[in-house]
């Protein structure tokens, strides 16, 4: 991690303020209940949100978008309902793993789960087969209102291109960059991640579209990255 924490703080807040001025509030994460958000966090792995919405709508139409119904549902039926999200057999298994965890540890209650502290919950979620750091942190932030910053491919790409991190920076290093330099605030983390996704989808693509990007010219000063 770089020693110059203050400039990191300044540029991270500048990025946030610039994106918020350009895009406004993002109203993330879409979901009517904490359980729906948790299901969406698993279904969104390796696909876009439009496909996830179709899968979740299938569950809603069958009136089974609750922990008990999905936990008791046969794997084949669940896989069929979530087919639009892609990798449906794998995701059905991952959902079943999470549902088993929720039933065994918290009696199927997201409310009981929310009462646990963030660090303990994160360790428990990462021990569930099929749940990695991004999925676990999405659940913690968006479903359980814990101040945990979510790092995704957009985050890494945007920060690397603006000289805040190296290309080899790990998930934990990038997350710590946010945790140590901006307030540990649920609303701020929620909005910041959503704004990064917005600029990543519209401008900071694998082939960058820098013209018109609100972050054009926002960089750590100097020729080489001064970040982690």
pTM score: 0.91
Domain that holds residue 64: 34-143
Could you tell me the CATH number of the domain that includes residue 89? Answer: 1.10.340.30
For residue 216, the 8-state DSSP code is: T
- Give the tens place of pLDDT for each residue, 20-62: 999 999 988 878 899 999 999 999 999 999 999 999 999 999 9
Overall domain count for the chain: 1
Average model confidence (pLDDT) across the chain: 93
Q: How far is CA 128 from CA 37, 66, 89, in A?
A: 17, 19, 17
Residue 30 burial (CB count, 10 A) = 13
Q: Is residue 75 part of a domain?
A: yes
Residue 65: what are its φ and ψ, rounded to 5°? -85, 65
User: Which of 25-34, 133-142, 187-196, 197-206 is predicted least confidently?
Assistant: 25-34
Percent of the chain with pLDDT over 90: 87
Q: Is position 71 within any domain?
A: yes
pLDDT at 225: 47
Residue 206 CA: distances (Å) to CA of 49, 157, 199, 210, 211: 19, 8, 12, 11, 15
3-state SS, 38-76, equals HHHHHHCCCCCHHHHHHHHHHHHHCCCCCHHHHHHCCHH
Look at residue 220 in the predicted model and tell me its pLDDT.
65
In a domain, residue 84? The reply is yes
In a domain, 127, yes or no: yes
Helices (H), the chain: 5-23, 34-43, 49-61, 67-72, 75-81, 88-106, 110-114, 118-126, 133-138, 153-161, 171-181, 186-202
Half-sphere exposure of 228 (CA within 13 A, CB side): 18
Residue 157 falls within a domain, yes or no?
A: no
pLDDT band at residue 2 under the 50/70/90 scheme: very low
Burial 159-185 (b: 16+ CB within 10 A, else e): bbbbbbbeeebeeeebbbbbeebbeee
- 117 occurs within a structural domain: yes
Residue 219 lies in a domain: no
In the predicted model, is pLDDT for residue 152 greater than 90? yes
Distance CA 188, CA 149 (A): 9
Q: Is there a domain that residue 134 lies in?
A: yes
- Three-class SS state of 15: helix
């Amino acid at each position: 991690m770089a020693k110059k924490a203050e400039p990191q703080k300044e540029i991270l807040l500048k990025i946030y303020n610039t994106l918020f001025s350009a895009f406004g509030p993002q109203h993330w994460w879409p979901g009517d209940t904490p359980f729906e958000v948790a299901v969406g966090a698993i279904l969104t792995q390796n696909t876009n949100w439009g496909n996830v919405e179709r899968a979740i709508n299938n569950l809603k139409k069958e009136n089974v978008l609750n922990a008990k119904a999905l936990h008791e549902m046969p794997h084949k039926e669940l896989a069929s309902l979530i087919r639009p999200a892609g990798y449906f057999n794998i995701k059905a298994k991952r959902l079943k793993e999470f549902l088993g965890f929720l039933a065994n540890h918290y009696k199927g209650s997201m409310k009981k789960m929310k009462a646990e502290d963030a660090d303990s919950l994160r360790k428990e979620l990462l021990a569930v087969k099929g749940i990695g750091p991004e999925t676990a942190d999405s659940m913690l932030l968006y479903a359980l209102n814990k101040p945990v910053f979510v790092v995704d491919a957009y985050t890494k790409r945007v920060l690397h291109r603006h000289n805040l991190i190296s290309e080899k920076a790990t998930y934990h290093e990038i997350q710590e960059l946010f945790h140590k330099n901006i307030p540990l605030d649920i609303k701020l983390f929620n909005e910041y991640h959503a704004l990064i996704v917005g600029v990543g989808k519209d401008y900071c693509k694998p082939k960058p579209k820098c013209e018109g990007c609100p972050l054009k010219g926002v960089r750590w000063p100097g020729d080489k990255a001064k970040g982690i």
